[in-house]
Amino acid sequence: MEVRQEKRGLVEFKDDKVFTWPTLVAKEFLAAIFVTVGLLFYSYYVDAPLRELSDPGQAENPAKAPWYFLGLQEALVYFDPWFAGVVLPGIIILGLILIPYLDNNPKGNGYYTFKERKFAVTTFVFGYVFWYVLIYIGTALRGPFWAFFWPWEKWTHDFPTPLPMHDLPLSLGIILMGVFYFAGLTLPALVKRDFFMKLGVIRYSLTMGLLLTMIGTVIKMVFRLAFNVKYIIATPWINI
């Protein structure tokens, strides 16, 4: 079969089609059986959790969201609820939705490759792994009062008092944040000129804005853990 492609003229199009029945359907059927058997076996041997009747006067400690949201709950350690619980997931969803419109690299469409899309794969895999690392910490390493416990430590209510935290001065915070985003937006454009040119200014700004926010989230965590910084920017209205 021949397919006309713009600019490149005629190219050979390899017709590797096979009949869906039975090639694909058989595999789907087997997958369905394996999943069913696996789920039923697991359900036979492992009981779903059920605690005591709910009691609004008796708070669980720690009270944990379902595991897939524990990354966000873990982010609550480092950020105020409006960011960790609302804006951050909002940005993540928006960023995911934007991916196909931001990534205009024509290569790597429909096959596995790292070489041809290093930036995209690295960024996504980092975010994906980071999400699950936070979930792991929130699930396994957080005990009563959301205190940190290593896997080999026993959860107790007797843990050292956390060190006092301080805010950065407002002016320093604003300067740091401004420099971070300004440098993050301009430097890559200057150093990797072709990266900027290929994306164009709108795609580039959105891509880097999202990437910087992801990196910034990590940096804020480091600030908190290493320097006991509570807020980078602290105002009466909003704290970051």
Partner 1 sequence: MKVIPDLFKKITDSEIWKSVFRHGYTDTPRNRALQIISNVWLHLHPAKVREHGTKIRFTWCMGGITFFVFLFETITGILLMFYYVPDVNRAYADIVDLMYVVPFGRFLRNSHRWGAHAMVITVSIHMFRVFLTGSYKPPRQFNWVVGVILLVLTFLLSFTGYLLPWDQLGYWAITVGTNMARATPFLGHEGPFSYILGMRPDNDIRFALLGGTAIEAPALLRAYVWHCIGIPMVAAALMMVHFWRVRKDGGISGPL
To the nearest whole angstrom, how small is the minimum distance from the Cβ of residue 71 to partner 1?
11
Backbone angles phi, psi at 85, to 5 degrees: -100, -20
The CA-based angle 84-88-93, given to 5 degrees, is: 140
Residue 9 interacting with partner 1 (CB under 8 A): no
CB of 64 closer than 8 Å to CB of 145: no
To the nearest whole angstrom, how small is the minimum distance from the Cβ of residue 46 to partner 1?
7
Residue 19 interacting with partner 1 (CB under 8 A): yes
Residues 74 to 113 in contact with partner 1, rule: CB under 8 A: 80-82, 84-87, 93, 96-97, 99-101, 103, 105-113
Mask 119-158, x = binds partner 1 (CB under 8 A)?
Answer: -xx--x---x------------------------------
Measured CA to CA, the distance from residue 100 to residue 122 in angstroms comes to: 16
Backbone angles phi, psi at 12, to 5 degrees: -70, 130
Closest to partner 1 by CB, 24 or 218: 24
Closest to partner 1 by CB, 60 or 222: 60
To which H or E segment does residue 119 belong? Answer: helix 118-140
**Residue (of 219, 232, 226) closest to 172 by Cα position:** 232
To the nearest whole angstrom, how small is the minimum distance from the Cβ of residue 36 to partner 1?
7
Closest to partner 1 by CB, 3 or 190: 3
Measured CA to CA, the distance from residue 216 to residue 117 in angstroms comes to: 23
Residues 164 to 193 in contact with partner 1, rule: CB under 8 A: none
To which H or E segment does residue 10 belong? Answer: strand 9-12
Per-residue tokens: 81: 């609820």
To the nearest whole angstrom, how small is the minimum distance from the Cβ of residue 26 to partner 1?
9
Answer for which of 91, 117, 136, 143 binds partner 1 (CB under 8 A) is: 117
To the nearest whole angstrom, how small is the minimum distance from the Cβ of residue 130 to partner 1?
13
Neighbours of 78 (CB within 10 A): 19
Residues 36 to 75 in contact with partner 1, rule: CB under 8 A: 36, 39-40, 42-44, 46-56, 58-60, 63-69, 72-73
